A = this chain, B = another copy of it.
Amino acid sequence: MNYTEFEQCGLKRSMEVLSGKWKPLILHHLFHEKEIRFIELWRKMPRVSKKVLLEQLQQMQEHRIVERIERNDFPPQVAYRLHPDTKSLGPALQMLEAWGKSR
């Protein structure tokens, strides 16, 4: 019995980085908007606190799911967009979206 199978399952690894209470919604928005400011995203998701939203985004950044773009304008302007690696997930996520809707 090889225990490494545990770590090798690609599905598990994918799900790990995609799951989190607010991540699917973030992905949903980013797939539709291509780039969105932090504050805008927050306005679209008024039930999360800024803190938690930020945490989710930071984790997604570490996992290379999203990219953070900072323009040192004033007022501070930070935007998020999908990381290029994530774009190939589009079709899979669309299927999940449709499947989730139809139940």
Contact = CB atoms under 8 A, between A and B. Distances in A.
A100 B12 contact: yes
Integer count of this chain's copies in the complex: 2
A101 interface: yes
A100 B85 CA distance: 11
Question: What is the predominant secondary structure among interface residues of chain A facing chain B?
Answer: helix
A75 interface: no
B92 A99 contact: yes
A70 to B, nearest CB: 25
A95 B95 CA distance: 10
A91 B96 CA distance: 10
Nearest to A86: B99
Contacts of A8: 101
A97 B14 contact: yes
